[in-house]
Structure 1
């Protein structure tokens, strides 16, 4: 990223939201090992169009998110393209953590813990959604950037601790104006509560040419990108 227009460090176990204009790039960087960043995406110009993880995976024949995949909406339009990453696996199967996932770590409250108070991704995401006039009905299947949960031969999902190291990164190119909602609470299958901070940076993105990897990845990817191009037109 040659120019940074917006930079924000999201503390571990916190949440943040930002509007990313079409054509700009969002870079997420893990600031410590074991980072997790649960992400919700919404088409800013449409009241209900949002990330559809099942369609994104099915259309691109994948059980994980990796470059140069396109993150698709309910209407089949591209929200963001994954333009680069230091990791080849970002979880899209397990969803975000809920309050019940935190019970195994014992009681926690702001009164007792102040800034170390444990909050689930659901709590953080809802707090950010309310800032934009949204609520529980807007929660949807998320991408857990920096996390890996793979299936074994019998179909069991196994979480891989320490998948991300400090400095690992992923870049997303907004294909239309996109509301991005992020939580850095640990992955729901993480056996430890060790939330890591994530740096979010927004800058100008490179224009996609005819040989852009996301456009040439699959016919379904190109179709979603063409639909997003019509939104921006």
Structure 2
């Protein structure tokens, strides 16, 4: 179809309606072919290409599942309390308050205010990282020749900046991210050992404990030793559910978690949310 004229370009664009690409959002999400819940509950369905990003505002109680489809995705995630960008993921507090640097089922993602942003309710992979953050423009330029967002090797921070801007946030609002699906372990001498992927099909599920802004960049882990830029598709699905209730094992597993949930409940109650 000729696109040299405005009419031709219009007809070509309209002809793409209904076309499905490997990596794209599905709108409405309820058209996703195999939802993990009642199809009517699905609110976000997208496949994020390697070297790309996505973002969404999710209501409290929503469950978000990330899946590494081919074994070389790495989801760098930042969370904010919706409407309060100063309350955002604090990786240092997430690690130190829970006395554990390794993310897995049962861990909580905490804000700097000592409140729970999300609970990690399922984890089939076990290889994640809360220590190294994401890649930068300078590092990717030195390593791959370019790290700009439109390049073949975009840096995670550059993509997260774009996602942040689309939610009214500025680069200064970006805290360190956490990474799912590419693992790091700390050696006895304090250095970091890259443990790589758990393989295709690994997934994690997060439960939103407040209304959240979610930013995700799917780029190689900064410690990935391979000389080439390797990043494969990431599946993102979210569905309506309920926040963690009083008495739930996630709230009662440890004193630190109980206090974080109490802080969250008190704050939400003052805002008229139970």
TM-score normalised to structure 2 length? 0.78
Aligned partner of residue 165 in structure 1, secondary structure: coil
Q: CA deviation at 1:11?
A: 0.7
C-alpha distance in 2 between matches for 1:107 and 1:120:
11
C-alpha distance in 1 between matches for 2:98 and 2:119:
12
Residues paired across the two proteins, number: 229
Higher Rg of the two aligned structures: 2
Instruction: Note closer, same or farther for the CA distance 1:109–1:81 as it changes in structure 2 (3 Å cut).
Output: closer
Structure 2: runs of 5+ lacking an equivalent: 1-35
Aligned to 1:124: 159
Instruction: Note closer, same or farther for the CA distance 1:91–1:77 as it changes in structure 2 (3 Å cut).
Output: same
Deviation >6 Å, runs of 4+? none
C-alpha distance in 2 between matches for 1:35 and 1:109:
18
Query: Are 1:92 and 1:144, in contact at CA under 8 Å, matched by a contact in 2?
Result: yes
Higher RCO (C-alpha 8 Å, min separation 6): 1
Instruction: Note closer, same or farther for the CA distance 1:159–1:5 as it changes in structure 2 (3 Å cut).
Output: same
Instruction: Note closer, same or farther for the CA distance 1:132–1:43 as it changes in structure 2 (3 Å cut).
Output: same
Aligned to 1:16: 54
Structure 1: runs of 5+ lacking an equivalent: none
The 5 A counterparts of 1:86-105 are 86-105=124-143
Query: Are 1:59 and 1:220, in contact at CA under 8 Å, matched by a contact in 2?
Result: yes
Aligned to 2:170: 135
Deviates most, 211-220 or 117-126: 211-220
Query: Could you report, residue by residue, the CA deviation over 1:115-155 in whole angstroms, capped at 9, with x for unpaired residues?
Result: 77210001100011111121111111111011211111211
Match of 2:71 among 8, 33, 56: 33
> What RMSD, in angstroms, separates the aligned Cα atoms of the two structures?
2.0
C-alpha distance in 2 between matches for 1:142 and 1:72:
12
Aligned partner of residue 93 in structure 2, secondary structure: helix
Q: CA deviation at 1:229?
A: 2.7
Q: CA deviation at 1:227?
A: 2.4
Query: Are 1:176 and 1:229, in contact at CA under 8 Å, matched by a contact in 2?
Result: no
The 5 A counterparts of 1:194-209 are 194-206=230-242, 208-209=244-245
Query: Are 1:30 and 1:164, in contact at CA under 8 Å, matched by a contact in 2?
Result: no
Q: CA deviation at 1:68?
A: 0.5
